[in-house]
Structure 1
Amino acid sequence: MAKKKKDEKPPRHISKRQLSSIKRHKRRQRLIFFSGIIIIVVVLVIVFVGIYMGEIRPYHKTIAKVYDREFSAQYLMDAVEYFGQYYSPETFITQLSSLINIASNYTVQSELIRRGAEDLGITVEDDEVKASLKENKETVNDASVDFTRLGFLNERLFEEHFLPQVPTSADQVNMMAMFLESESQAANITAELANGGNFTALAAEHSLDVYSKEKMGDLGWHSREFLESEMGATIPVEYAFTAEIGVLSQPLYDEKSKSIGYWVVNILEREEDIQAHVQVILVGSVEEADIVMQKLIDGEDFGELAREFSQDISREQGGDLGWVTPGTRSEAFDAYVFNPELGDVGVLGPFHDDEVTTTGGYWLVKVVDREENRPLDEEERETRASQSYDDWVTQLWDVAANEIDRTYLTPQITTWIMEKLTDKYS
C-alpha cells in the first residue's frame, strides 16, 4: 500500500508592510553599525590629537631661527644631551639649566659659522661627519652632526683661511715690562733694579698685568700687533719700538685696568653683623688711599673726597652705598665693614681688595733688542690667527643680529624640555 504524501505548505507571501518593516530594520542596523564606527574613529582621533598636542607636537615646536633655518625643541634636547654626554645622570640633571643655555648659544653659532665658512668656500659634507660619529660610536642626529661638523670646519678655517693670512715675518722687539700700581712703587723698584735687583723676579711678584706677570716680565720677541693684543695696552709697546735699547724707562702712566683696589669706608650706622649704612672711596693704589686718609684727618668732607678720588660707581652720590648686607660686596669688604672689633661707626681703612677693578698704573719697560722683518714664531702666528678667527665670529653675530630669533624659546618650553630630560635621566 502506497504511503500517503505529506501535505505541502503553500509558499509564504510577505506583505508589502512586512517587507517595508524588514528594510527599515536593516537600515537601522546599518545606521547603528556605521554610527559605532564613526564614534570609534572620532574617539581615536581625539585621543591621537591629545597625544600629538601633549606629547608629539612640543618636540617639533620651533625654539630658534637663524636666517631661514628653524631649530626644534627636539634639536635643542639633542644638543643638550650632546654637551652633557660625559656627565653622570645626577650631574646632568643639576646642570640642565646651564646646558640649555650653552646648547642654545652653540646652536646659533654653529649655523652662523657654517654659513660663514660656506661663503669662504669651506664646507664639510654630512657623509664625512656621520662617518666620524659612527666610527666613534656616537649618536647621530641633526644636532650631533652640526656640532661635529663645527669642529671640522674650525680646523679647516684655521689652517686654510686664517693662518695663511698671518704674515711670516714682521718688525719685532725683545722687551721686558711690568705694570705697577703707583708712581712711588715704580720709583722704589727702579732703585732696587739699579742696586742689582732681578727684573723677572720683581715682575713676577709685583706686576699687575696678567701677561707680563705670567711671563715674569720677560716678554721675548714679538710684533707690535701681538704685544698690544696680549698686554691690552699701547703705551709700553709704543715706547719699546722707539726707545733706546738697554735703557730702563721712566715710569710710564697708563689708564689700563687692574684687579686691585683700596677701600676707605665710613660706617654711618650698623646693626651688628646684619647690615650697615656706609660711604666708600675706592682708589687704585695705597699711595692714593693714604692721601685720602690724610685729607680726612685734616677735616675734609668724605662725600667731596669720594667725588674727587673714588673709582666706585657710588662716587656721584658722595660714595653713599646706603644699607649693605654681607655678601653684596667682596670678602675683604665684609671682613672690615662687618667686623665688630673695629667699632660700630666711623672711618675704616685703607684696606686692600683684589676682587675689584680699578684703572691707572705705571709701566717699567726695558728694550733688550729690536729687529726689522724678523720671522714670526709659530706661537705668535697661531695666536694672531686665533684672534682673527674670534673677530670673524664676532662679526658673524653682529651681521646676523636681525636674522637671529630666539624668542621662541619661552619659559614654558624650557620647563617642558627640563622635565622631559629629567624624566629620561632619573
Structure 2
Amino acid sequence: MKNSLKLLLLSSVFILSSLEQSLAAEVELDRVAAVVNSGVVLESEVKDLITSITLQAKKNNQTLPSDRALRIQVMDKLINDAIISQLGERMGVQISDAQLDETLANMAKENKQSLESFRQALVSDGLDYEKYRENVRNELISGEVRRASLRRRIYISPQEITNLLSVMKEQTNADVEYRLGHILIEFPNNPKQADISAAKVRAEKVLELLNNGSDFTNIAMTSSGGGNALEGGDLGWKTINEMPTLFSELVDGQDKGSVFGPIRTGLGFSIVKLVDIRGRQTMEVEEVKASHILIKPSIILSEAKAEALLQGFVEQLNAGEADFAELAKKHSEGPTSVRGGDLGWSEPSKYDPAFAEALASLDIDEVHKPFRSSFGWHIAKLTGRRTLDATEQMNENRVYQLLYNRKFGMEGARWIKELRDEAYIEILETGKK
C-alpha cells in the first residue's frame, strides 16, 4: 500500500512538473512587450507587424532601417493602437463580423480579387489570415474612435470658408497635387528650452543626412515621431489647400525632390520632402442621396436589441408593410428624423466609413440590413446617385472638407500625444512572463 502511494505521489510530481514546463514553454512563446494602462502589447503582436512591414518592403524594393529602429517604431504604433482601442471600449465602439466581412470584400475588390483569392494571397505571403482579419477590425475601430474624438475638437468658422473660397478663385495651381514626405522630431511633454534646442540639433543632423543623399523613407522610419513613420513618412497626395499652411507655403512653386526644414510646430521640428507633383486626378465627384434610421444602444436597449429592432423594420419594409419615412419619424434618434430620415445629397466620403460602405453596396431604393457605425445602429436606404463635374466646382461644402482635412491631420497628432501623456506606459525591452 505504502509503495503504491509512493508511486502515485511520484507520478503526480512528475505530471505537475511536466505541466509546469509545458505552461512555461507556452508563456515563453508570447511575452509582454509593453504595459499600456490596464492592457498589454504582446511580443507576438510586435513580431507579426514587423513581418508584415518586412514583406511589404520586399514587394516595394524598399530598404528598412535597423532591426532596433524598426522595433521602436512598431512598438510606438502598437502602443498608440492599444490606447485608442481602450478608448474605443469605453466609448462602446464595435465592429460586427458582418461589417468586417464587408470591408474585407471591398479590399479584395480593390485588388481585383475574390475574397477567397485575397485570403490565399495573404496566406501565401506567410500571414495568418485570422490575425490579419482581427487587425483590420482593430484598424476600423481605431478609425471610428479617431474620427469621433476629433470631430468634437475641430471648429471651422464661416470666415475661414469665405477666405479660402476667395484664395481658391485666384489660384492658378488649384488642380496640382503634391506628394509629401514628413519627418517629425518630437518635443517631449512640457518641453523646456534645453529640450527644444536638443530637438533642433537632431533635426538639423537629419536634414544634413538627407542633403548628403541618405534615403528619406529609411530615415523617416528610423527617426520620425509622426503618425506616418512606418509608411516612410508618406503623407500621400494633397492639393495646396489640403496640406498644413506651413507646408503649403514652402512647397508651392518648388521642384520635385526639394527638402525643407527644420520647421518648428507645436509638436516639434518638421522636415518635409516634395516627393512628386502631378495634375489633379479627380475630375468628377459622385454624390449619393440616402435616408436612414438610427437607434442608439443604451443601458436599457442593448446592442443586440437595437440590431433586432432594426432588422424587424427591414422585414416590414421588404414585405411592403411599412413606409421608410414614417418609421424614421417615429423611431429614428438622429436629427433627420423630422425629415423622415432624409440625408439629402452628399459625397459618401463625408459619412462615417461604415455608413459609406453600406451605401456603396446598395442599388437605388434598396434597404441595407442593420449595421453599426460610431453613432449607433442604422438601416439605410439609397434613393439616388449622381456624378458631378468637380473640376471647377468650389462650393462651400468642398471648401469645408478641405479645411477639415487640413486640421484633422494636425489635431490628430496633438490628440494622440495628449492620450499618451495621460497613459501609463512601461516598455519591457526583454519582455516578461
Q: Taking structure 2 as the reference length, what is the TM-score of the superposition?
A: 0.35
Higher radius of gyration, 1 or 2: 1
Q: Taking structure 1 as the reference length, what is the TM-score of the superposition?
A: 0.36
